[in-house]
Structure 1
Amino acid sequence: MSTDSATAALYAQALQSTATVPSRCTVPWGVCPEHGGTLKSRARATEGFDSWCTNPVCFNVWPYDRLDAACTEPATHTIQADGGDRYVVCDGHAQITDGQVLPGLPA
């Protein structure tokens, strides 16, 4: 499998996980599950992408471009947007939202 094919397969897997598991975070891009919007990504010349958390005490790394893939973390919070819409997010996305964060998932 080529690097592009492997990366595409990882993206597809993340998107499918989000679509088929309603208890997953609904945000279409990734974060560090512990520190929120602290990710960096880079393309590797021979093996695809790496993503990592830039928090100096965090050692989380991923072998794909997590910033560009749908979040596959479990939903733990409900966000009440200014327009009244509600959506579910993971711990990492709850740290960086502009909406009102409500603990738990909607009934």
Structure 2
Amino acid sequence: MFTIENYTNSLKKGLKEKSDDLIRNIKETLQFNYYEGIDILDFTAFVQSFEMSVVMFSMDRGANEVFYEGKDSSVFSGSHDLIDDVEYYKFHDDESDEFWEFYEENDETLS
């Protein structure tokens, strides 16, 4: 039986299992040579049906992504994956129809 509580608990568990990797990767960004045109770093979690990713974006104050177009390859701008495609939810093949019915019924809550 699929429930919102079980689904969100599996998401939390998946993130907890990768929290050390996430923290390490965030700490690594402290060493980046950031482009001077960056005003804000935006950290965004992308949660899909079965997996999640966390990405850091370089932004200006107008919430536009900033890109460095110079020749110095050591300068960072754009986006950087902090954790990528972490699978957090699994079910058996014979449960597929039941899962998708649950997911569609609760899409707004789960999104």
TM-score, structure 2 normalization: 0.28
Counting helix residues as a fraction of each chain, which structure ranks higher?
Answer: 2
The two structures have a TM-score, normalised by structure 1, of 0.29
